[in-house]
Structure 1
Amino acid sequence: MNAITPLYPLQESASEAAVEIAQRWRDLKDAEPHLRARDAADRLGVSEAELVAARCDGRDIVRLRPAWADLLSELESLGRVMALTRNDHVVHEKHGEYIGAKVFGNMGLLVNPDIDLRLFLGQWDHVFAVTELTRSGVRNSLQVFGDDGLALHKIYATDRTDDAAWSRLIGRFRAADQSPGVRVAPTHAIPTDPPDQAVDVGALRARWDGLKDTHDFVDLLRQFGVGRMQSLRLAGPERAYPVQRDAGRIVLEYARDDALPIMVFVGNRGLVQIHTGSVSKLVSAGEWFNVLDPRFNLHVRMSAIHSVWVVAKPTVDGPVHSLELFDEQGALLMQVFGERKPGRPQDPRWRALLGVLEPCSVNETGRHVSS
């Protein structure tokens, strides 16, 4: 973990910094009342956790104890909620229940038809219960942040949430310290790829061809010390090849038209959230391409997509193909698979769908493709 430093080094405490942040936030809200919290934090030059903690008062903003295993278990009592996971350019929202959470040390798992999560709890540091007034009325949420103040996961109450259970959860996990402010670590640096010439490409390809499960791919990256996009560039076109930048939109439209069930993975360093099923209502709005279905919403900032790849990985059930979207820095923003269960091969319709995409050329970094 990076060393924790105060936002304002000349001030004595996070509480003093919080006073200034809260005032600047009020001024900004007065000028732009519908500005989203993440955008407001960027405008103010602070993390989203600092923005929330600056208003911590033990009433509308309540700091909770980060007892992750117990907290995840308690979420089941809430009933239907909305789970939100995002990164810089993609937002994934699912309605459902947090049933059967399992925790194994710093790893957590929920596998449900709706709320389907892979949790990396070692990255979770702060959690707050937030009550705020929005255009649609009062909105309650639980918000989880990393040590650098990045928002990792949010859980929103819905009209089918048990309000009494929500209040009990806040009471049970309420922290003793409700003073405003929080100290955060420096922003996590993006890992640097090794030079291509330092990678044993032949061994990497052999290891790739020996995969038995898609989940083993992360171990491959660790073994060779390569970045994800770097591995795609070095893998050879029979394993991975770039396609047009708007391939994500094309694939979602084909899946809708053919009623083809898919799996959509969106994550950050703290967790991955998964939708499994069909998509129906697709809407473009400015730079965003959206899925607006009753229990699944997806928002993709198309202008931020700089590289898209079709990736093939071998498994014991046969090859599995995915579409992977990256930003200009090479960060993985989203993956799309055909719906598949262990023990079953992938749907041939999914492979055929990916076949309509046009292979493209990339530059030496692999981070830009022609459209």
Structure 2
Amino acid sequence: MPTTTTRRNFQRLALGGAASLGLLGTAVRAAEPSLSERWDQLRASQPRLPARDAARQLGVSEAELLNTRAGGTVTRLRDGSDTAREAMRRVLGLGEIMALTRNENAVIETTGVPRPLPERLTRPAADPAAEAQRQRQLQSVVGYLGGPIDLRTDFSVWHFAFAVVQPGAQGKTSRSLQFFDAQGQAVHKVYLTEASDVAAYERLVAEFSAQASSGPLSVAPVLARPADRPDASVDQPGLQQAWGEITDVHQFSRLLSRFGVERQQAFRLAPAGKAVALQARAVRPLLQEAAARKVALMAFVGNAGVTEIYSGNIDKVQEVGGYFNVLDPKFNLHLRDSAFRSAWLLERGSIHSVEFFDDQGQLAVSFFGVHGRGEPQPAAWVELVRGLPRLAG
């Protein structure tokens, strides 16, 4: 039997060993690289890896990753939709910019000088209903409605904002404003060009900087996409009748809301011939033929917070780096069409369009023919889209 003294010695050894293990565990935890260090290591091995893809590999959002550079190449701006709205209004004073919007499998980049608000939105309307509509548009578009930089915005989604100044290509300095939603996912980015007003940019950053903000971001969890209603529970005759009564393609969103259906569900239940399933990779012949035939088009790429639209002709179309691209001087479109799983040729009213969806069922990109308000689409556009390869059966 061990003596009392021996038992006490064992206890001291045990406590000492536990303390040593505790210190060892603390040392191991302290040696774990920070997120910033892990990003440095990843960039060293993959120097051309985009921040969005780096964030995915590191298990964080893009905004969280960018925030690790705050105080250096990155200036964190004040949070909230009001900041985003007012900052985007100031962008109207920067001169030429490049506007970038993306979703998971499509990126659109348009270069130009954003126009001020349309005159019809700067004057109060006498009719109360028209004035209410004007106020809604003022809250939404902040000057970006038509013109080379054409955006449709929902600022309630915009949350985090950063100004980024860092070395760019060919030794030039890259300056940008980058906006993210509450989940830390990119909503919209504005890049300065050689023709931009750098002094106006610096004043904007100084005005909106969040000097008191530091430390990690508190991002919200990504919400799961709700399941579709069963087709059998949808009023299909009513939906088809409402589809047939469409006179303006903008009425389609009200149809979805009225019948409680998702876009592709509405396409499946549409009147015969009004929604035709295409091959998912039909985006390639669409862009190739539009370029070859000089058929002007409208390209829409969006996410929950903004949709960016390009209107005009395209020229250089090619595959690069796993994307199918339009690479023109003032317009770039990058489509990861290997992730496209469905496509639809749609006829709503007199308007023909094509929509492409990815492997998660999300709308990646859509195309329309360019036409004036109240005018028919060009016959060349209708002929082009009707000739796209259809899905067998």
- Measure the CA separation in 1 of the matches of 2:372 and 2:193: 30
The equivalent residue for 2:298 is 263
- Work out which of the residue numbers 78, 81, 86 in structure 1 matches 2:97: 81
- Measure the CA separation in 1 of the matches of 2:45 and 2:192: 27
CA contact (8 A) 1:251 1:354 kept: yes
- Work out which of the residue numbers 71, 75, 85 in structure 2 matches 1:62: 75
- Measure the CA separation in 2 of the matches of 1:92 and 1:250: 19
The equivalent residue for 1:365 is none
The equivalent residue for 2:338 is 303
- Measure the CA separation in 1 of the matches of 2:108 and 2:100: 6
- Work out which of the residue numbers 170, 176, 187 in structure 2 matches 1:136: 170
Following superposition, the deviation at residue 358 of structure 1 comes to 3.0
The equivalent residue for 1:51 is 65
CA contact (8 A) 1:56 1:178 kept: no
Following superposition, the deviation at residue 25 of structure 1 comes to 1.1
Following superposition, the deviation at residue 178 of structure 1 comes to 3.6
The equivalent residue for 1:118 is 152
* Alignment-mate amino acid for residue 136 of structure 1: Q
- Measure the CA separation in 2 of the matches of 1:287 and 1:235: 34
Listed one character per residue, the Cα deviations across residues 120-163 of structure 1 (whole Å, up to 9, x for unaligned) are 11111111001223443331110000000000101111111111
The equivalent residue for 2:322 is 287
- Measure the CA separation in 2 of the matches of 1:354 and 1:25: 44
- Measure the CA separation in 2 of the matches of 1:123 and 1:27: 32
Following superposition, the deviation at residue 286 of structure 1 comes to 4.7
Q: TM-score, normalised by structure 2?
A: 0.83
- Measure the CA separation in 1 of the matches of 2:91 and 2:328: 24
Q: TM-score, normalised by structure 1?
A: 0.87
CA contact (8 A) 2:175 2:191 kept: yes
- Work out which of the residue numbers 134, 141, 144 in structure 2 matches 1:108: 141
> Is residue 2:43 matched to residue 1:29?
yes
Aligned to 1:125, the other structure's residue is in SS state strand
> Is residue 2:367 matched to residue 1:336?
yes
The equivalent residue for 2:55 is 41
- Measure the CA separation in 2 of the matches of 1:161 and 1:188: 37
- Measure the CA separation in 2 of the matches of 1:54 and 1:187: 21
Equivalent residue runs for 1:158-307 within 5 Å = 158-307=193-342
Q: Which moved more, 1:191-200 or 1:109-118?
A: 109-118
* Alignment-mate amino acid for residue 333 of structure 1: A
> Identity over aligned residues, as a percent?
39
The equivalent residue for 1:97 is 113
Listed one character per residue, the Cα deviations across residues 44-85 of structure 1 (whole Å, up to 9, x for unaligned) are 01000101112211x421111242332122111111111000
- Measure the CA separation in 2 of the matches of 1:183 and 1:250: 44
Following superposition, the deviation at residue 256 of structure 1 comes to 1.0
Structure 2 CA distance for partners of 1:44 and 1:341, relative to 1, 3 Å: same
- Measure the CA separation in 2 of the matches of 1:147 and 1:312: 36
CA contact (8 A) 2:317 2:324 kept: yes
* Alignment-mate amino acid for residue 329 of structure 1: Q
Aligned to 1:306, the other structure's residue is in SS state strand
Aligned to 1:170, the other structure's residue is in SS state helix
Structure 2 CA distance for partners of 1:106 and 1:50, relative to 1, 3 Å: farther
Q: Which moved more, 1:190-199 or 1:291-300?
A: 190-199
- Measure the CA separation in 1 of the matches of 2:48 and 2:75: 22
CA contact (8 A) 2:278 2:343 kept: yes
Q: Over the residues paired in the alignment, what is the CA RMSD in angstroms?
A: 1.8
* Alignment-mate amino acid for residue 288 of structure 2: E
Equivalent residue runs for 1:306-317 within 5 Å = 306-314=341-349
- Measure the CA separation in 1 of the matches of 2:381 and 2:242: 25
CA contact (8 A) 1:193 1:227 kept: yes
Following superposition, the deviation at residue 34 of structure 1 comes to 2.1
The equivalent residue for 2:130 is none
Unaligned runs of 5+ in 1: 1-15, 363-371
CA contact (8 A) 1:141 1:157 kept: yes
CA contact (8 A) 1:55 1:181 kept: no
Aligned to 1:312, the other structure's residue is in SS state strand
Following superposition, the deviation at residue 108 of structure 1 comes to 2.5
Q: Which moved more, 1:61-70 or 1:250-259?
A: 61-70
- Measure the CA separation in 2 of the matches of 1:180 and 1:278: 46
Aligned to 2:346, the other structure's residue is in SS state strand
Listed one character per residue, the Cα deviations across residues 65-124 of structure 1 (whole Å, up to 9, x for unaligned) are 242332122111111111000111111000012322577375225123210000011111
Aligned to 1:107, the other structure's residue is in SS state helix
CA contact (8 A) 2:84 2:159 kept: no
Instruction: Determine which structure has the larger helix proportion and give its number.
Output: 2
